[in-house]
Chain A
Amino acid sequence: MCDWCEKYGDGYERWYFNPANYARRLYKIRKEEAVASGAEANPQAAGGMAFVGRDFIEARDRGDIAEVERIKQQTEGAMWLTHFGQVLTLEEAHKITDIMYPISLISCACRRSMEGLPDEENFTCMGMGPGMYKWERWPDTYRGGVHFLTPDEAKEVLSKLNKRGLVHSIYTFGTPYLGGLCNCDYPDCAAIRTVVDLEIKILWKGHYVAKIDPELCNGCASCIHRCQFRALSFNPSRNKAYIDQFQCFGCGLCATECDQEAITMVERASLPALANVW
């Protein structure tokens, strides 16, 4: 079972369907976060959101496995208490818009950092829960302002971003308080690139795993570009898409693109070898 559902699910099917996790005591993490995770003292100066510092990259470069493990565990431990995410399917993201309020469309800090995008082209991130009511305290985090959305508007925005190829995920701000519904891609999203490139689990895999039906797949390859996690490739020998299910993060972007319905999203818990692969 997913650790977070076990700890914070309280009888709900998923921890992020438990309304209590959107309404807990507001977080106080801004200061501690950077120090605890071993990133540069000013994470913004380190480039938006660097979760680890140069010491980690250097340890990896010289093959110092013990040091890599040490920093990795220290970073994960700190981030799991304060700020980490889990991948969602579009259906799950839609469902969340019905159980929490308010929800707002905001500019994306990661893409501001990595693309230098002007705010008006950068409304891809969502902030939610009572924490949003104090957004004016942090005008820099919310550059370009905040659009509060109705649940229906939020679903529409999520569907559009899904079409564009962005991965949905949910983030804590002082675990288990859930405050971010993010829509992201590799490598500009700090969380996706940290988990994919550095294998530090800032982002947990979701509750589903994609599975190909080789009988239904016609080899059109139109799903291949949708994967942001290096789990999906094309197999010329069989003329079919190939999914590495151990690498799949369960975002469902490939499945929503396949008009042959050759990809289904299977419950992770139903696959013994994958049930604990997060």
Chain B
Amino acid sequence: MTEESPKKSRLDPEPIARRDFLGLSALFAAASTLFFALLGMLKLPKTAVLSSPSKKFPVVLPDSLATGEAFIPQGRSVAVFRDEKGVYAISTICTHLGCVVKNNPEGFECPCHGSRFSVDGTVTKGPAPRPLPWLKVTRNGDKWLVDETTIVTPGTKAT
């Protein structure tokens, strides 16, 4: 208390030595506890198990299915095709913003922002950033198992 700067008013507070070590470490402890507690709480809304139905499903293709004609399993966003080289599946979820694309003889067409894809899923027009993915198909007796979680290189066909 040596400095003799004139006091401006009796209401000016006395200087307090706030930056004491204990005070600071207590503050730091409180802040980091709250921070990590918050981080921990974020684990709750991040689901570990997804509630959506199984991504692997069997398909029975009708005998009448022609080459290049799409078969859409009930309630799935997948188009299954058969040609002389084998069976393959292309996802019909638009890679732009997730609308379901419609199949037509020239390929696929998205109703939401007009992306177009060729018959093998390549983007030909519009904002879609990626081609439609080909999905893994395996044979299981007279059924075909489609696995929506596994993406294969375009052109892969199951026999």
Do chains A and B interact in one complex?
A: no
